[in-house]
Amino acid sequence: MASLFGMPLEKGRWVFVAIGLSINLCLGSIYAWSVFVEPLYDYYTGSLGLAVTANEILMPFSVYLVFLAVSMPFTGKIIGKFGPRDVTILGGVLVGLGWLLSSFSHSPLMLIVLYGVVGGIGGGVAYSVLVAVAACWFPDHRGLAVGITILGIGFSAFFTANIAGYLIEAFGVMNTFRIFGVMTIFLVFLLAQPLKFPDTGWIPRGWNPDGREPNVAGHCECTRSRMLQTPSFYGLFACYFIGCLGGLMAISITKPIGTEVGVEAGLATFLVGFFSIFNGFGRPFFGILTDLVTPRNATMVSFILIAAASILMWQIPTVPVYVIAFALLWGCLGGWLAIAPTTTGNYFGTCDYPRCYGIVFLAYGAGAVAGPQLAAFIKTSTGTYAGVFPYLLALSLVGLVVAFILLKPPAEGPCKRD
């Protein structure tokens, strides 16, 4: 490969970042699920006459995220066999089928299986490829490239929520599912066509990895089994889990805690969309920060910001503090979705990247389950969502200690150096 898209490789590779961002805008429509909750409830109770609960309608969202995380460790092997283009298309088809098949569901259980399981697996398959492509093409700017690629996930709901609302009003909820399904398959198939990995051993012209800090450049090349033998992996996994557990715990209570501190209900709803902007921009911001100051320092900055937001909400629960604190919390959660994949590439290399990051990403899935459940438990125990913040502060302090002790480049032992 002498050129990409008629440009030198160093310039043409940025097209892959734009493609990844665009596909993630399609895949991230899951985060607009709240728009579907009330229409689905009305459909099942009104049109079908079923007795359903709000929790049943929300369950496909949680199941989708769980299967997205669980499917990623199994994706690496098929990427190596079939290549990034075909595997991305497979993921897009599964996500599209999740939408399409769900439009024929006659119960929340069918919706959970067809959308949550089928769509979640497809989302995990495609997402893992896009992150891997960005990480492999950009050893010199890995955090920036990965952060921009996954920016599409963070911003997707900002666009798709309004589109979904219009379509539901015009065509009904189940026809909207069908439209989303067809468009997802079509767009992902079209956008994925150019995707490829760089040739083995390729590095950007003029980039000298040996001249950089070892925890910034990807000097270490680990297979998944070798990665699992390093303390660095367990430090990264623990920090990722703590960051996601704390972030998702806070995000799951964004609206109710806002009303508790005195935010008007309509404004609280608007602020959820406003905070999503910070979630989106937190990804490239922390990606760049990881490139500049090393993964451990970027991680510690994240936990310090989470701790500061927790102290503010614990001690000064006012509306202005709420806006500042939750902008920080949403931004830090988005940041973890850039810190973790960037650190995986920097610490363990790219020879087995999809399978390595697939294991690391399980921390997100665990946090997605544990965070909202812990928030609900605290609310039940204390009678207020404000009880979340002392726990969140404690988690961030634990994360700081773990990052300081364990989050550093692996030693020579189990890793094979270039």
Confidence of residue 416 (pLDDT cuts 50, 70, 90): low
The answer to whether the 3-191 and 213-417 domains have the same CATH topology is yes
Residue 212, Ramachandran bin (φ over 0: left; ψ between -120 and 50: alpha; else beta): beta
- Indicate the length of the chain as a whole number: 418
Residues 6+ positions from 222 with CB-CB distance below 8 Å: 230, 347, 348, 349, 351, 352, 356, 410, 414, 415, 416
- Which whole number is the average pLDDT over 226-234? 93
Is the distance from CB of 120 to CB of 65 less than 8 angstroms? yes
- More confident site: 347 or 220: 347
H/E element holding 3?
A: strand 3-4
217: pLDDT strictly greater than 60: no
Confidence of residue 215 (pLDDT cuts 50, 70, 90): very low
Longest CA–CA span in the chain (Å) reads 67
pLDDT at 280: 86
Distance CA 49, CA 107 (A): 10
Is the distance from CB of 339 to CB of 287 less than 8 angstroms? yes
pLDDT at 412: 56
Distance CA 67, CA 400 (A): 29
| Percent of the chain whose pLDDT exceeds 90 | 49
- Which whole number is the average pLDDT over 313-321? 94
Burial 280-319 (b: 16+ CB within 10 A, else e): bbbbbbbbbbbbeebbbbbbbbbbebbbebbbbbbeebee
3-class secondary-structure state, position 103: coil
Is the distance from CB of 324 to CB of 304 less than 8 angstroms? no
pLDDT per residue over 244-282, tens digit each? 988 888 877 887 888 889 988 778 777 877 888 898 889
Q: Which CATH number applies to 3-191?
A: 1.20.1250.20
pLDDT per residue over 49-101, tens digit each? 888 877 788 788 878 888 998 898 888 778 888 999 999 999 999 999 999 99
Residue 83: closest CA among 27, 131, 133, 122: 133
111: pLDDT strictly greater than 90: yes
CA 357 to chain CA mean position, Å: 12
pLDDT at 246: 87
Distance CA 163, CA 127 (A): 22
pLDDT at 418: 41
Distance CA 379, CA 386 (A): 8
414: pLDDT strictly greater than 70: no
3-class secondary-structure state, position 417: strand
115: pLDDT strictly greater than 90: yes
pTM: 0.81
Burial 236-268 (b: 16+ CB within 10 A, else e): bbbbbbbbbbbbbbbbbbbbebbeebebeeeeb
3-class secondary-structure state, position 7: strand
Confidence of residue 209 (pLDDT cuts 50, 70, 90): low
- Calculate the average pLDDT of the chain: 87
pLDDT at 252: 77
pLDDT per residue over 350-397, tens digit each? 788 888 998 999 998 888 888 877 888 888 888 888 899 999 999 999
DSSP 245-297: HHHHHHHTTHHHHHHHTT--HHHHHHHHHHHHHHHHHHHHHHHHHHHHH-HHH
Distance CA 270, CA 156 (A): 16
pLDDT at 123: 94
146: pLDDT strictly greater than 80: yes
pLDDT at 174: 95
Confidence of residue 299 (pLDDT cuts 50, 70, 90): very high
Encoded tokens for 138: 């950009």
Confidence of residue 185 (pLDDT cuts 50, 70, 90): very high
Least confident stretch, 102-116, 293-307, 346-360: 346-360
212: pLDDT strictly greater than 70: no
Task: Indicate the domain borders of the chain.
Answer: 3-191, 213-417
- Which whole number is the average pLDDT over 293-304? 96
For the ranges 8-12, 218-222, 375-379, the maximum mean pLDDT occurs at 8-12
Q: Domain 213-417 - what CATH class?
A: mainly alpha
Encoded tokens for 99: 């939408």
DSSP 185-222: HHHHHHHTTT--PPPTT---TT--GGGS-TTTTT-EE-
